[in-house]
Amino acid sequence: MRAFGYTVAESPADAVRIAAGTPNSAFVAGGTDLLNLMRDGAQSHDHLVDLNHLDLARIDMDATTLRIGALARMRQVAEHPEVRREFPVLSQALLASASPQVRVMAAIGGNLLQRTRCGYFRDAGSACNKRVPGSGCPAISGHNRGHAILGGSEHCIATHPSDLAVALTALDATVHLLGPDGGRAVPVADFHLLPGSTPQRETVLRQGELITRVDVPRTRAATRSRYLKLRDRASFEFAVVSVAAALRLDGRTVGDVRLAFGGVGTRPWRDTGVEAALRGRELTEAAVSAAGRVLVRDAVPRDGNGFKVELVQRALVSVLGELGGVR
């Protein structure tokens, strides 16, 4: 870690102004990811702008929308009664994330911007296109058990690690941003980028742009939603494969279904083709299996992660089975 400057922002506009005007600066919220990256030498900044005093931690819900301030902590959102009632998948995704200690510190904005857990990325002594563009991707020919089978490129196959982002993607959430040129709103599904040939660019955020809030529309499907996370230990571990599912059944027929997947894609993975394969059909194991095959039709498995092709399909069967009462 290197010495860096530090400013506490007084207002969102203040934060944006300082960050936009200070080269190689970064915002810091809970610091649970940023500081680890800086300590490990995977990321380095000359200046940090502390967001923790901003009035952006509120959680409100009205008739149509849940609004989560970017500085709301993971725990606050997970335990919020309305979130638990109206959006079980959000609460479950958060409670399945990290540890109680991390969830007390970590904020929603920081969660969406946490960086990949690819070991090569986090090791300053390894090559990595995401960390040092053009240096190569050792994961492709090396250890890639945790890596993506969907959305990768020859430059990077790292997964996005956030569980929350997967749930928000399933729920059609919108990310609100404030930049030097004013505010804008981006659907969460468009917020993260595919790696392509620029894996160092992970989101649509511009220098100095701040996440202020995440909006989640209320739907009937959301009230019947679930997060299934498969991982290598029972707690305090990222997903090998995860599924966020929201389902509205009309009798036995799928009225509405929203699905997003973690651990398999280079960004929180939504494939509307999978949902289309289910919508309007009877919810049977055969139908879900067929939809699962749509999901993995373009999968590119590597030496270590081929099992995810099968596992994610089984996870889908399992979670929709539980949500829909079929086994």
Partner 1 sequence: MTGLVGRGVERVDGRAKVTGAARYAADNAVNGVLHGALVMSTVARGEITELDTSAALASPGVVAVYTHENMLPLTVPPDFPYPKRFIPLQDTRIHHNGQPVAYVVAETLEQAQEAATLVRVRYRVAPPTALLADALDEAFLPRDFRGRPNETVRGDAAAALERAEVRVEQEYTSPMQHHNPIEPHTTTAVWDGDSLTLYESAQGVVLTRMVVAQAFAKYVLEQDIRVVSPYLGGGFGAKGPTWSHTLLTAAAARLARGPVKLVLTRAQMYTMNGHRAEYRRGLRLGATRQGRLTAIVDTSTAQLTRTEESIYNTSNSTLHLYACPNVHVRQLGVRLDLPTSSYMRSPETTAHFGLETALDELSYEVGLDPVELRVRNHLPAGPPASKYLLECYRMGAKAFGWARRDPRPGVTRVGDEYVGWGMATETHTYNAIPSFAELTIDEAGRATLRVASQEIGTGTYTVLTQVVADGLGMPLDHVTTLLGDTAFPAAAISAGSSTMPSVVGPVSTAARNARDAVVAIAVADPRSPLHGVPAADVVAEHGQLFVRGDRRRRDSYRDVVRRHGQAVVVNGSGPNTPGHSFGAVFVEVRVRPRLGAVRVSRVVAAYDPGRVLNHRTAHGQVIGGVTWGIGFALMEHTVVDRNTARVVNPTLSTYLVPVCADTPSVESYFVDRPDPASKPALGARGFGETPGTGVPAAISNAIFHATGRRLRDVPFTQDKLL
Ligand X SMILES: Cc1cc2nc3c(=O)[nH]c(=O)nc-3n(C[C@H](O)[C@H](O)[C@H](O)COP(=O)(O)OP(=O)(O)OC[C@H]3O[C@@H](n4cnc5c(N)ncnc54)[C@H](O)[C@@H]3O)c2cc1C
Q: List interacting residues with ligand SF4 (CB under 6 A).
A: 116, 118, 120-121, 128-130, 137-139, 147, 156-158, 199
Q: How many degrees, rounded to 5, is the angle at CA 30 between CA 177 and CA 129?
A: 70
Residue 317 sits in the site that holds partner 1 (CB under 8 A): yes
Give the chain's radius of gyration (CA, Å).
19
Provide CB contacts within 8 A for 297, sequence distance 6+. none
- C-beta of 207: minimal distance to ligand X in Å? 11
Query: Which of 230, 287, 290, 300 is close enough to bind partner 1 by CB under 8 A?
Result: 230
Select 52 or 318, whichever has its Cβ closest to partner 1: 318
Q: Which does 128 bind (CB under 5 to 8 A by kind): ligand SF4, ligand X, partner 1, none?
A: ligand SF4
Single-letter amino acid, residue 208: G
- The CA distance from 305 to 182, in Å, is 42
| H or E element that contains 235 | none
Q: Which does 110 bind (CB under 5 to 8 A by kind): partner 1, ligand X, ligand SF4, none?
A: ligand X
Specify burial of residue 29 (Cβ count, 10 A radius: 0-12, 13-18, 19+): buried
- C-beta of 135: minimal distance to partner 1 in Å? 12
Pairing outcome for strands 174-179 and 182-187 = antiparallel
Contacts 24+ apart (CB under 8 A), 134-142: 137/199, 140/302
Residue 31 sits in the site that holds partner 1 (CB under 8 A): no
Q: How many degrees, rounded to 5, is the angle at CA 218 between CA 296 and CA 226?
A: 45
Give which of 189, 165, 161 is closest to 68, Cα–Cα.
165
Query: Which of 60, 232, 285, 298 is close enough to bind partner 1 by CB under 8 A?
Result: 232
Pairing outcome for strands 174-179 and 59-61 = unpaired
- C-beta of 263: minimal distance to partner 1 in Å? 11
- C-beta of 314: minimal distance to partner 1 in Å? 5
Q: Which does 163 bind (CB under 5 to 8 A by kind): ligand X, partner 1, ligand SF4, none?
A: ligand X
Select 131 or 226, whichever has its Cβ closest to ligand SF4: 131
Sites of contact with ligand X (CB under 6 A): 26-34, 51, 70, 97-98, 102, 105-107, 109-111, 113-114, 161-164, 210-211, 236, 238
* Structure token pair of residue 156: 């990077």
Select 76 or 114, whichever has its Cβ closest to partner 1: 114
Residue 47 sits in the site that holds partner 1 (CB under 8 A): no
* Structure token pair of residue 208: 């100095």
Binders in 240-259 for partner 1, by CB under 8 A: 240
Give which of 136, 126, 166, 167 is closest to 150, Cα–Cα.
166
Which residues make up the interface to partner 1 (CB under 8 A)? 1-3, 40-41, 117, 119-120, 122-126, 138, 141-143, 145, 230, 232-237, 240, 307, 310-311, 314-315, 317-318, 327
